[in-house]
A and B are shown apart, each in its own frame.
Chain A
Amino acid sequence: MGDRKFVIALVVLLGIYIAYELNKPQPEDWSITYYHQSTEPFGAQALEALMAPLFDDEIEHVYKSVYEIYVEDSLDANSLIIANAIGFGKEDTDLLLEQVASGKTVFLSALAFGGVLADTFDLQTSFEDPIGIKTPEQVESDLAGETKVQITFNEGAKSFLVDYPNLGATSSFEPKASDSLEVLATNDENRPVLVRYQNNGQLIMGTLPLAFTNYFTLLEETTSFTEAQLLLIPQDEPLVRNQYYQLGRLESDTPLRVLLSNQSLRWATYILLVAILIFFVFQSKRQQRIIPIITPLANLTLEFVQTLGRLYYKQSNHNNLSHKRVLYWKEFVRTHYNLNTQYLNEDFINELSRKSGKNEATVASLVGLVNTIENQNEISDSILLKFEKNLNEFYGIE
């Protein structure tokens, strides 16, 4: 009964704690995700809302590498990649350029570019990630601060200025970019922040990915720049937003991915998991009542004798011990062979060997040892061991 009360109290306390944790005001999460379902400042749900009326088709979201999209899934659409850092290898770069050559638009926006792609266009980014190292409070106060960067957007007929909070525009390209690149926007140090490479299609690279976050999309001064960037992508063609380079393989990122991707293995895995579950549920049932453990009485004689033996051994009084053993032996002779053990002489040896059936040399050697032990004050190790050997022979112990 007391147990039940205790359990109820525990459950109630746990319930209260959970309710408190759920209702407690959540602190603002200032980590950068660009995730299209995140309403945190640096998520990108607002971008969805902004894009929806601009584009004819619905935006598709994937979480796969460039190689997987173009080679395995042979995707046929424009693509938008927003991430903190982008560094494509040779194969990916070739694939992207192929896409551009075939008339597609690829929009990359990242704080930093690297790898073969950057090398191809001789792009270098001066890169800072102040948000990663600042505390949430610092980020918040910086955003509210007065320091601004002026971004100049200049594409064809369209041209305007935007005042960007310092924190949102920390990254830019080195000005000496290759001739094949067209500069679409610069900051107030006249360094490019948005460049375009055209070859049938277009490859657009920007260094202000934060422009696509909820915060800057919704900020009144900066929303025009976000929109202008999106308008560079043809609106009548399907667009795929690839979030792999910021979030990774969102849905199937489990060690079982390989097992689950094949039908046979998937069945095997599921049946195995079900089998384990069944095993736990059914094999954990008792087959008979609980039998409490009762320790049986122990006979400690052996331990007692061994401890005593060790104690005597530590003192190593060979004389004392060998006398004890002689007494036992004499008692044995008296009770088993009915011999007088007062005088251990020639007659005694003859009689004992005759009665015990041991050969005379064995008996004589043993009796000799007994005499030695009885007459000597100091008994050496070797005599004691020899005595043991002779006794074993006499008793017939092997």
Chain B
Amino acid sequence: MRKFFRSYYLTNRFYQALGGVIALFLLSYGIPSLFPFAEIATYILMVAVVGDSLALFIKNRLISAERSTAEKFSNGDENAVKIVVESTYNFPVHITLIDELPEQFQMRDQSFEAKLEPFSPITFNYNLRPVKRGVYEFGVMNVFVSSRLGLVQRRYEEGKNAEVAVYPSFVQMRKYELLAISNQLKEFGIKKIRRIGNNMEFEQIKNYVSGDDYRKVNWKATARKNHLMVNQYQEEKSQHVYSAIDKGRMMQQPFEGLSLLDYAINASLAISNIALKKGDKAGVVTFQQKVNSVLPSSSRNMQLNLILEHLYKQKTAYKESDFGRLYATLRRKVNQRSLILLYTNFESLSSMQRQLSSLQKIARQHLLVCIFFENTEVDELIHSPAKDLEEVYTKGIAEQLVYEKKLIVKELKAHGIQTVLTRPQDLTVNTINKYLELKSRGLI
């Protein structure tokens, strides 16, 4: 009985019908000859409700629904979910499907409607974009079935709770991998990527294109071909690439729902993948008030999986980050000269200067790239006219904020530290570009 009540719902149409009956009775106050019709309408409605209920409830388990998702979701990307619903009622039914989404999405109004013919399943497709790593829990699928009369609804709770793990963006990783290997990143990025290496292992002679180092021109070949030809050398391999991820206070800021930390994690996954593909060794270091984890660089087959799992597990309390400790750990654990991609964020020149000594010390031993973020939130403010003096002031301060970031870049450059200043959304592309650029310039 309780189960019956739990699954018994009434539709809007039922209430509309009741309203109609009430209106008929009200009308019959003025036109008494309508009264019998109103009475008959009431009984018809009662009979219809009972009949509709019987049709829907007399047999059990006539609706089945199944949800299929990927085992892992990719953070910050659209992930597909598919639900197949099938009816074995012997008449066409109308269904409303409410999928119980993981609470992280905070979506309470998602529902699908469809007409369902007997024995012909229907598929619903929708996408979810998680912005946090971790375990996500789907609930049941609520299927509300009504007949053509549509006065009563029966609720089926199909499927079981299912868990999906949201991992750092492996979708982006694959996407950029292909682009980087096929040398198409310039379509996305700002700089033109030159892939020729700088070391002296000869590979081939090729046509000169603008941007090639003219010291490498092969004059003999040029003379023979009547074209400028250059020597191309093999890239250096097995270099160490470390992604050092700051998990401190400054990385909590969200852009488009995703925190800077997750942007950094997504980017370091993509860059590690490319580094591995290029024959380099990738590793990960994370830190906040102390160094939390070190995954030594390696080019083993399973390294990418290790990195993925390693990044997936990252938790943080967003404490104040200590760059001194990062330096000490790198000094102890990373003995070869490496490319250190340091993902962090500085809002002002002074906050950078506080860390400068540690950064300099790291840069002395390794090739340090300091990656930090433009604050796109103030873009709109800067690009709209100010109406009064107070707004002029606000705008001036916003400009100052943007200007300081550029000062930070200059200051770091002056101390021989490479920088990437990027919009959070372009982080991965810009980081990969920087990596490829540094590699081709042979700076590691």
Q: Which residues of A contact B (CB under 8 A)?
A: 262-265, 267-268, 271-272, 275, 278-279, 282-283, 285, 287-289, 291-294, 296-299, 301-302, 305-306, 308-310, 312-313, 321-322, 324-325, 327-328, 331, 335, 381, 384-385, 388, 392, 395, 397-398
Contacts and interface: CB of A to CB of B under 8 A. Distances in A.
B9 interface: yes
A309 B378 contact: no
B259 A297 contact: yes
A278 B152 CA distance: 13
Contact of B139 (A278, A285, A289): A289
B25 A268 contact: yes
B35 A302 contact: no
- Which 7 A-B pairs give the minimum distances between C-beta atoms? A309-B394, A268-B25, A328-B399, A301-B377, A313-B393, A297-B254, A264-B29
A291 B389 contact: no
Given A288-B142, A289-B139, A309-B390, A268 B26 contact: yes
B381 A312 contact: no
Contact of A275 (B18, B108, B383): B18
Given A310-B390, A328-B400, A384-B392, A268 B103 contact: no
A144 B390 CA distance: 87
B314 to A, nearest CB: 16
Contact of A294 (B15, B106, B155, B252): B106
B375 A301 contact: yes
Contact of A321 (B42, B375, B393, B406): B393
29 contacts: A263-B35, A264-B26, A264-B28, A267-B39, A275-B18, A275-B22, A283-B10, A285-B6, A285-B9, A287-B144, A288-B98, A289-B140, A291-B108, A296-B106, A296-B257, A297-B257, A299-B254, A299-B255, A302-B381, A305-B398, A308-B397, A309-B390, A309-B394, A310-B390, A310-B393, A328-B403, A335-B406, A388-B386, A392-B385
B103 A264 contact: no
Interface of B: 6, 8-10, 15, 18-19, 21-22, 25-26, 28-29, 32, 35, 38-39, 42, 98, 100-101, 103-104, 106-108, 139-140, 142, 144, 155, 252-255, 257, 259, 375, 377-378, 381, 383-386, 389-403, 406
A9 B254 CA distance: 49
Given A264-B32, A267-B42, A288-B142, A328 B390 contact: no
B375 A271 contact: no
Given A278-B10, A288-B108, 5 more contacts: A264-B26, A283-B10, A309-B394, A309-B396, A328-B403
A294 B104 contact: yes
Contacts of A283: 10
Contacts of A325: 396, 399
Contacts of A298: 254
B141 to A, nearest CB: 9
Contacts of B144: 287
Given A279-B15, A287-B144, A301-B378, A296 B254 contact: yes
A300 to B, nearest CB: 8
A289 B384 CA distance: 44
B26 A309 contact: no
A257 to B, nearest CB: 15
B394 to A, nearest CB: 3
A288 B22 contact: no
Given A267-B38, A279-B15, A262 B22 contact: no
A324 B107 CA distance: 44
Contacts of B139: 288-289
Residue picked from B9, B390, B397, B398, most chain A C-beta under 10 Å: B397
Given A288-B142, A325-B399, A384 B106 contact: no
Nearest to B375: A301
A331 B403 contact: yes
A268 B22 contact: yes
A122 to B, nearest CB: 48
A291 B142 contact: no
Contacts of B140: 289
A294 B103 contact: yes
A275 B22 CA distance: 10
Given A324-B400, A398-B385, A271 B394 contact: no
Contacts of B384: 397
Contacts of B6: 285
A60 to B, nearest CB: 31
A275 B396 contact: no
Contacts of A297: 252-254, 257, 259
B341 to A, nearest CB: 24
Contact of A264 (B35, B385, B391, B394): B35
A282 B252 contact: no
Contacts of B386: 388
A306 B386 CA distance: 13
Residue picked from A321, A384, A392, most chain B C-beta under 10 Å: A321
A328 B255 CA distance: 24
B399 A324 contact: yes
Contacts of A299: 253-255, 377
Nearest to B104: A294
B140 to A, nearest CB: 8
A282 B378 contact: no
A327 to B, nearest CB: 6
Contact of B21 (A265, A271, A313, A335): A271
Given A302-B381, A392-B385, A275 B15 contact: yes
A264 B38 contact: yes
Contacts of B389: 313, 381, 384-385
Contact of B22 (A271, A313, A398): A271
Given A328-B400, A385-B389, A301 B253 contact: yes
B394 A306 contact: yes
Nearest to A389: B385
Contacts of B29: 262, 264-265, 268
